[in-house]
Copies of this chain bind each other. A is one copy, B any other.
């Protein structure tokens, strides 16, 4: 089953031609999750032929414009396109007021319901618990309330080896075998789960961390994730500017990845001062080799591997 991150925007607040403000589309087993929604996100979704109707969950990290100003436009378009399905929206206090006031003045009465969860950005908390995954807030260090999001698949079941399983095994016994339990069949034979099933697939995880100053406080929470998106607004020679603006440098992102032993690091939220961002990559790779630039249009996949 797919677990993919598609990058819709890689730019920090000051816009620059050919980059877009922060937004990512996460696909997990055919569910689409939109993370942040900077100005113009709906045009990026159209460009990449992503069907708005399939997006049921939107997460906003904080209320700086480059992370949410595309939201009201996207909601309006969903409405114009005839959406009636509930939309789950997660964001900091104030986001509901911002939306409500704009819908009021445009006299727009949405055809669908927004189910808004106001986030406490200062604590780690499970904010969404679905059949196959959970989403948690990751407290970040920024000028205003801001949190990242940790997407974690739940532990998976083993898969039945259909070439081996005897015909007389009952559905309940199948469930037990998938859970890793051994069963005794009606003939009195012990059927070991290990013999009749394939190992469960690994539970995959993705941590989205933008915007934040260097933030060791989150290391425990994101430890060992498959993929970490960490902002890298500046090259490391701008460390003091990064600190002052509550952002991170390439090396701080790379240290975070190294310390937390993640598998892959994505870098983004590049300052408009950099026309060429290859030096960001080179600098991060001096610390953490498996780093990539999260540029518009790229898709990063987390493989579905055996445990």
Contact = CB atoms under 8 A, between A and B. Distances in A.
A74 to B, nearest CB: 9
Contacts of A101: 94, 97-98, 101
A47 interface: yes
Interface string A91-103: 0101101100110
Q: Which residue of A81, A95, A106 has the most chain B CB atoms within 10 A of its CB atom?
A: A106
A43 B40 contact: yes
Contacts of A46: 15-17
Interface in A84-112: 92, 94-95, 97-98, 101-102, 104-107
A238 B2 CA distance: 43
B65 A102 contact: yes
Contacts of A92: 105
A39 B105 contact: no
A80 interface: yes
Nearest to A69: B73
Nearest to A107: B144
Contacts of A80: 13-14
Contacts of A13: 76-77, 80
A113 interface: no
A64 interface: yes
A72 B67 CA distance: 12
A121 interface: no
Contact of A63 (B20, B40, B42, B105): B105
Nearest to A48: B17
Interface string A33-66: 0000001101100110000000000000001111
B17 A106 contact: no
A180 interface: no
A98 B102 contact: yes
Given A72-B69, A73-B39, A76-B13, A98 B105 contact: yes
Contacts of A268: none
A143 interface: yes
Nearest to A49: B17
A155 to B, nearest CB: 38
Interface of A: 13-17, 20-21, 39-40, 42-43, 46-47, 63-66, 69-70, 72-73, 76-77, 80-81, 92, 94-95, 97-98, 101-102, 104-107, 143-144
Closest 7 pairs between A and B when the two form their complex, measured CB to CB: A94-B105, A40-B40, A63-B105, A39-B73, A17-B46, A65-B76, A69-B73
Given A15-B42, A105-B144, A107-B143, 13 more contacts: A13-B80, A15-B43, A15-B46, A15-B73, A17-B43, A17-B46, A39-B42, A40-B40, A40-B43, A98-B101, A98-B105, A101-B101, A106-B144
